[in-house]
Amino acid sequence: MRESNLLQPDKTGLLVIDLQQPLLEVMWNQQELIANVRRLAEGARILELPVLVTEQNPEKLGPTASAVAEVLEGRSPLPKMAFSCCREEGFMEALRSLDRGAWLLCGVEAHVCVSQTAVDLLDHGHDVHVAADAVGSRVRANWEAGLERARRAGAIITTTEMALFELLERAGTDQFRAVQRLIR
């Protein structure tokens, strides 16, 4: 049974899925997507959340795009060939080692890797939140379908700002002021 539908900083991790340059270049919402992933990554640093990063077929698609990698502070991406992160050898072990029951997802593509990962994480008993403004697909219809698929499976569809303020829990703190600067 769920403890809360709200993200809690001591129980949440950030999962950044497949933000490689060739994939980012064809996203319909590329600029918003990059800006919001950067906000989430910076917010995770401020809030001291664990972060996992994946790269789809990095031998062909290359590393995480520099616009995103620069805010991930040298985290080593987990390479994958499976669309769902959960179906890649070693991913679930890395996830379990962080001991978080809730995962905030961002990345690409909403209707493939993001939605399949969301469904698998839910099936493994995790709470899943998908930041709609920090995920993308090549076309808007696929983005919408991917978010709807994740929602119907039980994921909470959120936004970057909603997620960050849930994780903050209150105003007036140093963390609040730091995150507030990211949003403005």
Identify the active-site residue in 18, 120, 127, 133.
18
pLDDT at 166: 96
Q: What are residue 56's phi and psi, to 5 degrees?
A: -80, 125
Mind listing the pLDDT tens digit for each residue in 52-62? 999 999 999 99
Of the options 3.40.50.850, 2.30.110.10, 3.40.50.970, 3.60.70.12, the CATH number for the domain spanning 12-183:
3.40.50.850
What is the average pLDDT across 12-21?
A: 97
What backbone phi and psi angles, to 5 degrees, belong to 39?
A: -60, -45
- Does the pLDDT of residue 2 top 60, yes or no? no
Question: How far does the chain reach from its first CA to its final CA, in angstroms?
Answer: 36
- Determine if the peptide bond prior to 25 is cis (ω within 30°): no
**pLDDT the model gives residue 73:** 81
Segment 130-150 mean pLDDT: 98
- Label residue 24 by pLDDT band (50, 70, 90): very high
Domain limits, the chain: 12-183
For residue range 156-183, list pLDDT tens digits in order.
999 999 999 999 999 999 999 999 999 8
Q: Is 72 helix (H, G, I), strand (E, B) or coil?
A: coil
Confidence of residue 3 (pLDDT cuts 50, 70, 90): low
Buried/exposed code over 161-183 (b: 16+ C-beta within 10 A; e: otherwise): bbbbbbbbeeeeeebbeebeebe
pLDDT at 1: 42
Span 67-80, average pLDDT: 92
Instruction: Find residue 135's DSSP bridge partners.
Output: 107
Instruction: Point out the catalytic residue in the list 85, 86, 106, 113.
Output: 113
Query: Would residue 60 show up in a list of annotated catalytic residues for this protein?
Result: no
Residue 77 DSSP class: P
Residue of 80, 106, 127, 133 with catalytic role:
80
